[in-house]
Amino acid sequence: MIFLGAFIFFFGLLNARFIYANVQYWLAPGTIRTADSLGGKAQLLPLAKDLKDKPLPNNAMLVIDSLGVNAPIVFNSPADAKSLYANLENGVVHYPVSLKPGENGPSILLGHSSAYPWYKGKYGSVFALLGKLKPGDRFYVQYEDKRLFVYTVKQSVIFNPLSGDEEELAKLEQNAQTSLILVSCWPVGTDYRRIAVEAVLLES
């Protein structure tokens, strides 16, 4: 009993952000919105026709309202693991070898699922509730020029990157559809496996 109590205490201490995110989720599902760096609350605005063929900017927000996620997307991060990890302190990181969200093909965003209480970034548990997304759920990416891309969840896969078990993720990356793949550590509090949630772009 002493060992079990100590385990629960230390697990709770090290995963306080994850526990807090779950409490928010159950108390107010689908209602959590926070101010974003684009000015005020993220708004669902139509895609302007005169912007459709212009390059996408490097300032955007990922909003998953049902999970309380409202985070900036970090673009142009170097692809090495150290740089990617450092940039996760500033939001969710666009994997640089993939396309931008909204472009024709797969895009990949990386985010933390859990972090120690003393972690200095405020996005240490931005993907803590990623496993709660189910097929049919919707979320969106909005760029600073107000272009909006709405996605619907298609599936989730669990894989082990340490054993070369990345076949499922590779299949998602080879998908010809315009998709967005959200990737984080799994289970929460470990880096043993990864969860990847695939969502496809809804036609404007």
Q: Domain with 162 in it: what CATH number?
A: 2.40.260.10
The pLDDT value given to residue 91:
95
Distance of alpha carbon 152 from alpha carbon 72, whole angstroms: 19
Q: What value does the mean pLDDT of the chain take?
A: 79
* Structural domain range at position 35: 2-201
Distance of alpha carbon 139 from alpha carbon 44, whole angstroms: 11
Average the pLDDT over 12-29 and give the result.
58
What global pTM score does this model have?
0.77
- Residue pLDDT, tens place only, 93-139: 999 989 999 999 999 999 998 876 667 778 888 999 999 999 999 99
Token pair for 119: 């972690």
Token pair for 198: 């695939």
Distance of alpha carbon 22 from alpha carbon 15, whole angstroms: 11
Residue 84, Cβ neighbours under 10 Å: how many? 17
Tally the domains of the chain.
Answer: 1
Q: What phi, psi does 39 have (nearest 5°)?
A: 105, 100
